[in-house]
Amino acid sequence: MSDNLSHLAGRKGLKQNMFQDLIEQTKSKGKLSEEDMRNLAEEYLIGNANVYGTASFYDFLKKENQNKKVYVCSGSTCLLAGTQDKLKDNLKKTFKEEEIGHMCCLGRCHENNAFHYDGVNYSAQSDKAIEDILAKKTKDGIDNYSVATNIENPVLTAPFTNVDEYYQLFKEALKKDRLELLQEIKESGIRGRGGAGFPMGFKWESCMNTEASQKFIVCNADEGDPGAYSDRYLLEKQTHAVLLGMMIAGYITGANRGALYIRAEYPESVTIVKEAINELEQKGLNGENIEGSGFDFRFKVIEGAGAYICGEETALLNSIEGQRAEVRIRPPFPTQAGLFNKPTVVNNVETLASVPFILKNGGKAYAKLGTGKSSGTKLVSLDSFFNKPGIYEIEMGTPLSTIINDFGGGFKSDIKALHIGGPLGGIVPMSKIDDPIGAGLNLDFESFSENGFLLGHAGIVCIPKDFPMIKYLEHLFEFTADESCGKCFPCSLGSTRGKEMIQKAQHEDFKIDKKLLDDLLETMEIGSLCALGGGLPLGIKNALQYFGDELNEFINE
Ligand SMILES: Cc1cc2nc3c(=O)[nH]c(=O)nc-3n(C[C@H](O)[C@H](O)[C@H](O)COP(=O)(O)O)c2cc1C
Ligand code: SF4
């Protein structure tokens, strides 16, 4: 990270932003010329190389993607469901091969057949459906999935009433002392839902205690884990829970600006969030001196451009600043020096969406839910291999088998493993879940880590019996190699070497040297700067442990 670049990027604040300019110009002109980039460099007082470095980082800004007309989802569940080859063949009837790109992932894991066309996501279940979409006979891509919970008074899935009623809570909060409100958050014991499980109260307190004239709240809505679409659900169906959570974070920490970084693969989320912010502005619930309280808060929606690593909080901050979205070295932590080097809280969508419940019912009521160390509820995303795919709000500590059988209704076909918590999560063999004692695998942070897995964002991707595990491991290495930010060698080189080894073992007379593979995994795990390179080995090691019978033919002991 360059301090200078961060300060320069901050000159125009959130209002005008080079990253957004890059995206908008690419959208309107189809591609960026060298002159466009030079003009941006001049406008933002940065080097030509910096603008080029940024433009060449993102999938949707890259030259090779600039003439694509349609994008097929290449996420894990669409791959495992085997729907995408046929979909692509169908699209080839209308588009040339070079006009078809890919996006990962569109969050349509509950029905697959997913593609993005003309700014809208679709899941076409038949040839006729594709024809209708391309002929513009079907314009909206609305999808349906089950939503349910196992608690009486839901934290995240209660039906939304209306803005006037909902924001009474906010108006009351603005009359309270911010330390009193922070105490409720701390008492709730809520831990971040973005994957790392860091206590939200400590993060907010650290930002509150850092002296600065400007602070920021950033909502991490870059949900890139294939298999997870719970943040998309919250952004689209519980929008005000997220916005209210951000404003309360601002009130407590002293931040008056909030940015929602929403991935471009969720165009509907971007539109819905912008509409909700407009409504708040019209009702005087957002802006300057809200409700005469002296508290100001303004939102800015920033659309991503196709880079999984932007979900990592420091890469995300670099992205907003218009820098190459490389991971930053910590410390300093974002609460000390975050966006434009100012104190910044970065929280996941689901973490922020839990705030209204905590305010309304008190921190103790939230802490009563769950297991103590893992308090509250967690949204779980179930993919299309379940009989009842959908988003389920589950009390922490609930046995995984309950989620699978009672909520998911079991599986449509034979499943050998569940990949839980995204591409960096663990691969859980079905034997762990079918075990009558349940192997203690419950929905909470501790249970997952004690069993050698990871709860992460709790997206569940089913690996069918007939899908070769080696092919799935190739997909994971390939994903990491594609998405690596390039800042550290163990990840950028390690993932590429891993992918090559696995490909060679499948297609040539070659066996993977077990010692070499173990060394590679250890180097990635210990030596990577962030959990992209550091997290990939977990699932690979799980697969080697539980699916040795299947993988041994590719490996030399
Ligand atoms: C490779 C990588 C990808 C990540 N992707 C996301 C993401 O899509 N959404 C998210 O909230 N957190 C993601 N995180 C975690 C964030 O870095 C950060 O911990 C989180 O946004 C903090 O919010 P929380 O405390 O509310 O969980 C990712 C981390 C890594 C290493
Ligand atoms: S582990 Fe990968 S993504 Fe993370 S900093 Fe290193 S190169 Fe970048």
pLDDT at 439: 57
Residues 521 and 535: beta-carbon distance below 8 Å: no
Write down the pLDDT at residue 2: 67
- Is 477 within 8 Å of 495 (Cβ atoms)? yes
Centroid of ligand 2 to alpha carbon of 436 (angstroms): 40
329 lines ligand 2 (CB under 6 A): no
8 three-state secondary structure: helix
Whether 458 and 475 map to the same domain: the answer is no
What's the pLDDT score for residue 30? 80
Per-residue pLDDT tens over the stretch 120-176:
999 998 889 999 999 888 767 889 899 999 999 999 999 999 999 999 999 999 999
Structural domain includes residue 383: yes
**Cα 439 to Cα 486: distance, rounded to the nearest angstrom:** 38
Q: Ligand 1: which residue has its CA nearest to atom 23?
A: 347
Phi/psi for 226 (5° steps) reads: -55, 135
Choose the residue to mutate in 313, 379, 476 for probing ligand 1, maximizing ligand atoms within 8 Å of C-beta: 313
Ligand 1 nearest atom to the CA of residue 352, by list position: 26
Both 353 and 339 in a single domain? yes
pLDDT digits (tens, 9 = 90+) for 210-220: 999 999 999 99
CATH number at 157 reads 3.40.50.11540
Indicate whether 426 pLDDT > 70: yes
| Phi then psi dihedrals of residue 185, to 5 deg | -65, -45
- Measured CA to CA, the distance from residue 528 to residue 526 in angstroms comes to 6
Q: What 3-state class would DSSP assign to 187? A: helix
Predicted confidence at residue 513, as pLDDT, reads: 97
Strands (E) located in 268-319: 298-303
Rounded mean pLDDT, 41-69: 90
Q: Looking at residue 299, what is its pLDDT?
A: 98
196 CA: nearest ligand 1 atom: 19
Q: Which of 368, 395, 412 is the last residue of a domain?
A: 368
**Which residues, 6 or more positions from 24, have their beta carbon under 8 angstroms from its beta carbon?**
none
Question: Ligand nearest 326 Cα, by number?
Answer: 2
Is 28 inside any structural domain?
no
pLDDT band at 29 (very low <50, low <70, confident <90, very high): confident
Q: How far apart are CA 503 and CA 496, in angstroms?
A: 11
Q: Whose CA is nearest to atom 8 of ligand 2?
A: 485
In a domain, 307, yes or no: yes
Q: Is residue 487 part of a domain?
A: yes
Euclidean distance between CA atoms 217 and 346, whole angstroms: 6
pLDDT reported for residue 64: 82
Separation of CA 533 and ligand 2 centre (Å) = 6
- Choosing from 348, 368, 388, the residue where a domain stops is 368
User: What is the distance in A from the centroid of ligand 1 to the CA of 192?
Assistant: 9
Q: Which of 476, 529, 536, 538 has most ligand 2 atoms within 8 Å of CB, for mutation? A: 529
Q: What is the tens place of the pLDDT at every residue in 371-419?
A: 999 999 999 999 999 999 999 999 999 999 999 999 999 999 999 999 9
Query: Which ligand minimizes its atom distance to the CA of 265?
Result: 1
Nearest CA to ligand 1 atom 1: 532
- Average per-residue pLDDT for the chain: 95
422 alpha carbon to ligand 1 midpoint, in Å? 11
**Is residue 198 located within the same domain as residue 333?**
yes
**Residue 296 phi, psi dihedral angles, 5° rounding:** -110, 145
pLDDT of residue 436: 57
Nearest to 460 by CA among 384, 525, 409, 402: 384
* 524 close to ligand 2 (CB < 6 Angstrom): no
Domain limits at 511?
Answer: 469-556
Query: Does the CB atom of residue 76 touch ligand 2 within 6 A?
Result: no
State the CB neighbour count (10 A cutoff) for residue 109: 33
Report the pLDDT value the prediction gives residue 11, as an integer from 0 to 100. Answer: 84
CATH code of residue 477: 1.20.1440.230
- Average pLDDT (232-243) is 98
For ligand 1, the distance from its centroid to the CA atom of residue 229, given in whole angstroms, is: 14
CA of 232 to the centre of ligand 2 (A): 25
Q: What is the pLDDT of residues 251-280, one digit of tens each?
A: 999 999 999 999 999 999 999 999 999 999
Decide if 66 contacts 101 (C-beta within 8 A): no
- Decide: 327 in ligand 2 pocket, CB within 6 A: yes
Q: Could you give the CA distance from residue 106 to residue 113 in angstroms, rounded to a whole number?
A: 10
Q: What are phi and psi of 411, to 5 degrees?
A: -105, 155
Say if residue 344 is in the same domain as residue 484: no
- State mean pLDDT over 83-93: 95
Do 451 and 515 lie in a common domain? no
Single residue among 462, 479, 514 that ends a domain in this structure = 462
- Same domain flag for 342 and 413: no
pLDDT value at residue 502: 98
**Pairing label, strands 100-103, 114-117:** unpaired
pLDDT at 507 over 70: yes
Same domain, residue pair 155 and 139 = no
Which residues are paired to 191 by β-bridges?
199
pLDDT score recorded for residue 10: 85
Give the ligand with the smallest distance to the CA of 492.
Answer: 2
The answer to whether the Cα torsion of 328, 194, 106, 77 is positive or negative is positive
- Quick one: 349 and 403 in the same domain? no
Number of neighbours of residue 47 by Cβ within 10 angstroms:
11
Residues 430 and 453 in one domain: yes
Q: For the whole model, what pTM was predicted?
A: 0.97
Q: Is the beta carbon of 315 within 6 A of some atom in ligand 2?
A: no
> Do 310 and 279 fall within a single domain?
yes
CB 31 within 8 A of CB 25: no
Ligand 1, atom 10, lies closest to the CA of 194
Nearest to 473 by CA among 521, 540, 387: 540
Contact call for residues 306 and 60 (beta carbons, < 8 A): yes
- Nearest listed ligand to the Cα of residue 424: 1
Closest ligand 1 atom to residue 532 Cα is 1
| Distance (Å, whole) CA 425 – CA 507 | 27
Exposure of 163 in the CB half-sphere (CA atoms within 13 A): 14
Cα 454 to ligand 1 centroid, rounded to whole Å? 14
pLDDT value for 405: 94
**What is the DSSP secondary structure assignment for residue 158, as one 8-state letter?**
S
Residues 280 and 47: their CA atoms lie apart, in Å, by 38
Q: Which of 318, 424, 492 to mutate to test the pocket of ligand 2 (most atoms within 8 A of CB)?
A: 492
55 part of a folded domain: no
pLDDT of residue 550: 96
Mind listing the pLDDT tens digit for each residue in 168-207? 999 999 999 999 999 999 999 999 999 999 999 999 999 9
- Same domain for 159 and 277, yes or no, is yes
**What residue has token string 């689209």?**
236
Q: Which atom of ligand 1 is nearest to the CA of 203?
A: 25
Residue 437: per-residue pLDDT = 55
Exposure on the CB side of residue 67, measured as CA atoms within 13 A? 6
Does residue 487's CB lie within 6 angstroms of at least one atom of ligand 2? Answer: yes
In this prediction, residue 423 carries a pLDDT of 96
**Residue-level pLDDT at 435:** 66
Residue 35 lies in a domain: no
Residue 90's pLDDT is what? 94
What are residue 180's phi and psi, to 5 degrees?
Answer: -65, -40
What CATH number is given to the structural domain containing 409?
3.10.20.600
Ligand 1 pocket (Cβ < 6 Å) reads: 192-196, 198, 220, 222-224, 309, 311-313, 346-348, 351, 530-532
- What is the mean predicted confidence (pLDDT) over 418-438? 86
Q: What is the pLDDT of residues 453-490, one digit of tens each?
A: 999 999 999 999 999 999 999 999 999 999 999 999 99
Alpha-carbon gap, residue 303 to 325, rounded angstroms: 14
To which residue do tokens 């670099």 refer? 318
H-run or E-run covering 418: strand 415-420
Give the tokens for residue 247. Answer: 């404003």
For residues 106 and 265, the answer to whether their CB atoms sit within 8 Å is yes
Is 349 part of any domain? Answer: yes
The pLDDT of 114-125, averaged and rounded, is 93
Whether 2 maps to a domain, the answer reads no
Report the number of distinct structural domains present in the chain: 4
Integer Cα distance of 429 and 416 in angstroms? 6
76 shares its domain with 130: yes
Q: Maximum distance among all alpha carbons in the chain?
A: 74
Residue 460, classed as helix, strand or coil, is strand
CATH number at residue 75: 3.40.30.10
CB atoms within 10 A of CB 472: 23
**Binding site membership of 309 for ligand 2 (Cβ less than 6 Å):** yes
Tens of pLDDT, residue by residue over 7-25, are 888 888 888 889 999 999 9
Which of 310, 526, 530 for mutating ligand 2's site (highest number of atoms within 8 Å of CB)?
530
